[in-house]
Amino acid sequence: MSGLFGSLSIALSGLSVSQQEMATTSNNVANASTPGYTREVTDIAAGDPIELGSLSLGTGVVLQKIESLRDPILQIQMNQATQQNSAFDASQTQMQQIQTQFASSTSGIGADISNFFNSLQQLSPDPSSLTLRQGVLTAANTMATDFNTAASSLQTQRSNIDLSVAQSVSQVNSLTAQIAGVDQQISALQSTNQAPGTLVDTQNNLILQLSGLIDVQVIPTDQGITLATSNGTALVSGSQSFALTTQETGGVQHIMAGAQDITSSLTGGSLAGLIQIRDQEIPSISGSLDQLAAGLANNLNAANAEGTDLENPPQPGGNIFATPKAGGVGAAATMTVTMTDPSLIAASSDGTTGSNGNLANLSAVATQPLGNEQTQTPIDFYSNLVSQVGSSTANTSADADSSSLILQQLQDENGSISGVSLNEEAANLIQYQTAYQAAAHVVSTVNLLLLDAVNLGMDEAES
């Protein structure tokens, strides 16, 4: 293969490889900002030499492969970090919303409780005053209304989260179907020994998106990849995806993998964060509000029953509040002041209208344990709830911040391996252009030489 034709063939291999290299660079540049795209590099090598006696003659350049640069371990770490970060982020957003109801110390339920007991205090020097008695009922109504509002806001938020859960599940299903579809394409290419190239990027990007929703583990197998949640539920197996379903249980959507309820076993992704708020935080806070509302209503009703009202003849005090259900379930949402006539407040302990003796019993509710296994006074119980909600929100925020830093660092690391650098591509382009020009020059030179050889110097003779 030596000789001019040999040189021509070598120069052609240079042209061809340079073209492919430029195509690769061009593809990198075009995808510089494509999400999930990993930069491609060409792997070229010298062609196998031809041995001619003691001579070893080169045969040009060969493009071995076009390789996407990615670190699979980093990919797994990014998936995990995304799952964590998304869970905390989702929780944080919801907690921020919840805590606004507990934000003010001078309005809201806490202040209402203080104001209610203060209205009783104001009644005590002038217990027969209808104006002051009306003040007590007004304060009771304000308190009940704020309990209702808080409870219904929490319930509304819970319903909204429930909707998000259902939507997220359908997003999960759409993503797993896409991932399985891509996996089928990848398998088809691999079975014919073709490189899947950017399809893997597409798949990884879809898995990353899926990680934002649910905790998934990626298990590479011979038949493509398997995706499973951390409790082992398969979402994708090769080219097959398994859709999750939702089923209403106890008023909320539970997530089902086939017949298995995986709701409480999710540990990552925004679904885990949403479910944590929906099934743990909100019920816990609502439960506390119920305990508080039920305790106040029961204790104040009981205290009112110990005295007598302004009726003639005086009657034993009736209920101020509607009697809460046993155990207090739903007490905050349904707290109602049933007493409408202020003269029915049983301030008297001796049957006269001027006695304030029973107001002491009513006021004592403020300083006595709430009851129903709660040992704190109403205001202590409430302030403790405020502190719990605050701590919970602050912790979730801190978790969201730190997990976001971890994710950011992993993304940086990933970018340093897989990101397209325009400078690098430009430098490569110069190199490939120069190589192409040089090879073209060689072709041109060989062409001249061949002309000389074919014409046996006729040109020169003619001229």
**262 vs 285, which CB is nearer to other proteins?**
285
**7 vs 348, which CB is nearer to other proteins?**
348
**What's the closest the beta carbon of residue 102 comes to other proteins, in angstroms?**
5
**What's the closest the beta carbon of residue 240 comes to other proteins, in angstroms?**
34
Instruction: Report d(CA 183, CA 173) in Å as an integer.
Output: 15
**115 vs 141, which CB is nearer to other proteins?**
115
Distances from the Cα of 286 to the Cα of 89, 148, 272, 311, angstroms: 22, 11, 20, 38
213 by Cβ neighbours in 10 Å (0-12 / 13-18 / 19+) ranks as buried
Instruction: Report d(CA 200, CA 206) in Å as an integer.
Output: 10
Instruction: Report d(CA 359, CA 362) in Å as an integer.
Output: 5
**187 vs 395, which CB is nearer to other proteins?**
395
Please state whether beta strands 50-52 and 240-241 pair in parallel, antiparallel, or not at all (unpaired). Answer: unpaired
C-alpha dihedral sign at 102, 106, 107, 109? positive
**What's the closest the beta carbon of residue 51 comes to other proteins, in angstroms?**
39
Instruction: Report d(CA 214, CA 168) in Å as an integer.
Output: 9
What b-and-e string marks burial along 121-132, b requiring 16 or more CB atoms within 10 Å of the CB? eebeeebbeeeb
**265 vs 414, which CB is nearer to other proteins?**
414
**What's the closest the beta carbon of residue 120 comes to other proteins, in angstroms?**
9
**What's the closest the beta carbon of residue 373 comes to other proteins, in angstroms?**
21
**426 vs 449, which CB is nearer to other proteins?**
426
**What's the closest the beta carbon of residue 347 comes to other proteins, in angstroms?**
10
| Single-letter amino acid code for the residue at 173 | N
**What's the closest the beta carbon of residue 249 comes to other proteins, in angstroms?**
31
List residues near other proteins by CB under 8 A: 33, 95-96, 99-100, 102-103, 105-106, 110-111, 113-115, 117-118, 121-122, 124-129, 348, 350, 352-357, 360, 363, 379-380, 382-384, 386-391, 393-394, 397, 404, 408, 411-417, 419-427, 429-430
**What's the closest the beta carbon of residue 398 comes to other proteins, in angstroms?**
9
Q: What is the DSSP letter of 107?
A: S
Nearest to 147 by CA among 276, 395, 321: 321
Nearest to 347 by CA among 368, 325, 317, 377: 317
**Do residues 272 and 281 make contact, with C-beta atoms less than 8 angstroms apart?**
no
The neighbour count for residue 253, using CB atoms within 10 Å, is 21
**402 vs 455, which CB is nearer to other proteins?**
402
**271 vs 310, which CB is nearer to other proteins?**
310
